[in-house]
């Protein structure tokens, strides 16, 4: 067959040949620094978090208030129009009880589980929110619809990161009135 002349052969490598230096190898520690340009919307969002405030963007065409903020409305296909400050309270949309760490290692016996939740922030449109941790609550007491409030780091410890909010804790006297629109867009 004509393709036979193009068949590539292979040489099996043996560990002893590698150790004896018979195989060219290069040891290198890669420089894996990560850089992320957060852009206008997320840049402002992080700056406001450092100041202890939560900010969103509003689309005047559909009326949505989006958090995390974005400069473009993916429903209307147009630029968003204005910045809107939101409260640091919200409602648990969904949650999980995690018995593993972020690196997929098991949480040691006797240590509390992680409690990630999607929080619909008061002042933002329903159905939008941020993923964060719950704290100061027993896992069996968490409920969808539970009202929560942000627990912030001390101002001098903030760095302009979502972790400037340490976690959300249950509101002791939850108010049913949020500032966000109840209409889903």
CA distance 154 to 132: 18
Please, are residues 71 and 57 in contact by the beta-carbon 8 Å criterion? yes
Model pLDDT, residue 55: 97
CA distance 83 to 71: 10
Structure tokens at 66: 């989006």
Residue 5 makes CB contacts below 8 A (sequence gap 6+) with none
Model pLDDT, residue 35: 66
CA distance 121 to 135: 16
Per-residue pLDDT of the chain (185 residues; tens, 9 = 90+): 555 655 666 777 888 888 888 888 777 888 777 666 678 999 999 999 999 999 999 999 999 999 999 999 999 999 999 999 999 999 999 999 999 998 889 999 999 999 999 999 999 999 888 999 999 999 999 999 999 999 999 999 999 999 999 999 999 875 554 443 333 33
CA distance 141 to 134: 11
Model pLDDT, residue 112: 94
CA distance 160 to 164: 7
Tell which residue, 120, 146, 116, has the closest CA to residue 66: 120
Residue 18 makes CB contacts below 8 A (sequence gap 6+) with 25
CA distance 165 to 96: 19
Structure tokens at 62: 């559909």
Whole-model pTM: value is 0.73
What does the domain layout of the chain look like in residue ranges?
39-170
């Amino acid at each position: 067959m004509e393709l036979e002349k193009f068949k590539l052969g292979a040489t099996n490598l043996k560990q002893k040949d590698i150790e004896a230096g018979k195989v060219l190898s290069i040891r290198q520690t890669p420089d894996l620094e990560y850089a992320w340009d957060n852009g206008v919307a997320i840049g402002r969002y992080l700056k406001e978090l450092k100041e202890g405030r939560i900010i969103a963007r509003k689309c005047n065409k559909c009326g949505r208030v989006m958090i995390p903020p974005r400069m473009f409305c993916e429903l209307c296909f147009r630029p968003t129009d204005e910045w809107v400050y939101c409260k640091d309270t919200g409602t648990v949309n969904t949650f999980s009880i995690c018995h593993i760490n972020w690196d997929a290692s098991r949480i040691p016996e006797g240590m509390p589980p992680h409690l990630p939740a999607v929080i619909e922030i008061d002042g933002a449109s329903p159905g939008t929110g941020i993923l964060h941790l719950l704290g100061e609550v027993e896992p069996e007491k968490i409920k969808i619809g539970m009202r929560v409030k942000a627990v912030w780091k001390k101002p001098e410890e903030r760095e302009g990161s979502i972790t400037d909010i340490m976690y959300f804790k249950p509101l002791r006297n939850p108010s049913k009135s949020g500032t966000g629109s109840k209409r889903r867009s």
